[in-house]
Amino acid sequence: MKFILIILLFFPLIVNGQFEFKPDSISPLENQLGNPDPDSIKFEFRLWNNSQIFSLFIQLSLNQKNEWNYRTGFFNHDGDIYYLKSNPDIDLSELWKTLDSLGVRSLPSQEIATASLEINGYPYKLPFEEIEKMTQSTESSLIIVELFNQSNYRTYHYYDPIRISKGIKNSKQSWESKEHFAMANIVQTVNNTFDIHQAYKIYFEKEVNNL
């Protein structure tokens, strides 16, 4: 009986621990989504995928009733938000468990992420300037993560984590970069779940045809 009571006492702490993170940002980014109401949500995760021609987003929220909900969409060429239709069949709780297992709350920003190679038994760290060169492309995208809970906020970013991860994996040398691989998996998980790029492509093609 005491064992059951201990579990009941500590279960809320275990659950809430899934939504704790170390804040490293003073104020949220300014955008048309605004800031979540701390009286309405326990936690919110946002992922932005920005390029020269689009700005896509996923907004995943947990309310005070422990219910998950989400919104996805993009900003059109006029700067207006275009929301996509929600899919009720997506298991948002499992999605968050997957993202959390990839370290989405604790990943460092790209400037301090590591990429290393062992040469003659010694690790060689790839300078951030070299990582930047790998993202210099007209097709480069900027991935921004935002995390909110009732008292804290955090944001960090990566340029082209999928492209960089593929480049490292395909290199003849044995590079290692756990942070870039994790971020690439996070982005790929979001892309596979919501398929925002395809929705944007359809919208963009319609807009072009209407010119």
> Tell me, what's the pLDDT at 111?
83
Strand ordering across the sheet containing 41-50: 81-83, 68-75, 55-63, 41-50, 142-149, 153-159
> Tell me, what's the pLDDT at 51?
81
**H or E segment and range at residue 44:** strand 41-50
pTM over 0.75: yes
Q: Which parts of the chain register pLDDT below 50?
A: 2-15
